[in-house]
Each structure stands twice: as C-alpha cells, then as structure tokens.
A and B are shown apart, each in its own frame.
Chain A
Amino acid sequence: NAGVTQTPKFRVLKTGQSMTLLCAQDMNHEYMYWYRQDPGMGLRLIHYSVGEGTTAKGEVPDGYNVSRLKKQNFLLGLESAAPSQTSVYFCASSYQSSGTGGYNEQFFGPGTRLTVL
C-alpha cells in the first residue's frame, strides 16, 4: 500500500495563478484533511471531508477550495494564489472513529512545498 500520496511535491507559482494539489489514499479511509504548516504556527486545518461528496471548513479556509468526488481523492485548489499561501501543505486521512475513545489516528502524506512569488 502506498498510504497517502500527494502531488506535486514542489511548486512555484506567481501571484494570481491557480493550481490544484492532489491527495490520494488507498486505505479506504472515510475522513480526509488538508493542513498547512508554517514556522511557529504548527499545522492548521484548512478543509476536511467526512466522506465522498462532503467537505467542510477548518480553521483557515479562506483562499482555498476543495472537492471530494471520489472517496480516495481529496483535491485542494487555489484559485488566485497569494504570497501568504506560501507554505508546506499536508494531506491526511483517517478511518471513522468508533466514538469516544475510538482509534482515530491520522495518516499523513509527505507534503507539498508551495512558494508563491
């Protein structure tokens, strides 16, 4: 199993350009997430999905859109990139929690380093 994969690994954009980051998982997980990692800020949740066809906003959703058309894929889109979106983006997935105390470990991808000039 490949686990969680992300493409591309690196990307440089100019301000105003658009792009899509792809996350794929082969573990049949229900839940998928997009985070950004910035120095001194840790990981912040951008958007997440609790199943195919559903998405929801996280802590820092502005400037991003997502889609979950297939269970195994979670796409993160930047319609008009800004320098403030320079960051490392991580995708993660997890299986459905069985409730309080349920095992809900998140499995992370390797990250995408995005630079917006």
Chain B
Amino acid sequence: AQRVTQPEKLLSVFKGAPVELKCNYSYSGSPELFWYVQYSRQRLQLLLRHISRESIKGFTADLNKGETSFHLKKPFAQEEDSAMYYCALSVDFNKFYFGSGTKLNVKP
C-alpha cells in the first residue's frame, strides 16, 4: 500500500523563523515525491519535486529513503508563505497519493 503521512495539521511560526513541514511516506518501490501548495482562494499548484532538487520560493525538500521522509524546509518564513501544503507520492500511471495537508500560518 502507498501512504503519505503529514503529522501536523497546523503549524504556526513567526515571520523570519525557520519552518519545517513533515512528510513521511510508505512505498515499497522507488518513490516520486512532490509538494503541492494551495494559497487562499487559489487552486492547488506544484511547489517542488524531489527529482529536480530545486529550491522554489526559498523552500527545499530532501528525500531521505532511510527515514522514508520528504520534509519541506525554509530557513526564513514569510507571511506570504501562509497556505495549505500537501505532500504527494506518485506511483503507477501518474496516480498520486496525497497527505492530509498541513496548514502553515506565518504570523507577523
């Protein structure tokens, strides 16, 4: 079975503080992992993919196969980062399994 776990429903930090959104996955094959973001009143959109090893809007995520984790990190949170974040695992035929999401609230 493929499963994605995001243990935190809500994460509140102050502007300028570091932020880490946790994601753990369960998959026996070679995973393709993604972070999607949904800003208020906007549609869900891709933030970053593990395969690209990219940094988007200051966010990075490293795949740790030993710990089966793909945590999303940003050293200095901004108010505009406030949104709902979903970790997703992609398997056969582009099927995606999404975590339950973490709402990030960045306080001024």
Residues of A within 8 A of B (CB): 31, 33, 35, 40-45, 48, 50, 56, 58-59, 90, 92, 94, 96-97, 100-101, 103-106, 108-111
Cα separation A100 to B43 with both chains bound (whole Å): 27
Residues of B within 8 A of A (CB): 6, 9, 30, 32, 34, 36, 43-46, 49, 51, 86, 90, 93-101
Q: Is the CB of B95 within 8 A of A106?
A: no
Q: Is the CB of B49 within 8 A of A45?
A: no
Cα separation A56 to B92 with both chains bound (whole Å): 12
Q: Is the CB of A106 within 8 A of B94?
A: yes
Q: Is the CB of B94 within 8 A of A42?
A: no
Q: With a CB–CB cut-off of 8 A, which chain B residues contact A41?
A: 100
Q: With a CB–CB cut-off of 8 A, which chain A residues contact B44?
A: 43, 90, 92, 108
Q: With a CB–CB cut-off of 8 A, which chain B residues contact A40?
A: 9, 100
Q: Number of contacts between A and B (CB, 8 Å)? A: 57
Q: If the complex has contacts A43-B86, A108-B44, are A48 and B32 also in contact, measured as CB distance less than 8 A?
A: no
Which of A59, A101, A110 contacts B43, CB < 8 Å?
A: A110
Which of B30, B93, B98 contacts A48, CB < 8 Å?
A: B93
Q: Is the CB of A97 within 8 A of B95?
A: no
Cα separation A31 to B95 with both chains bound (whole Å): 9
Using CB atoms, name the residue of chain B closest to A96: B94
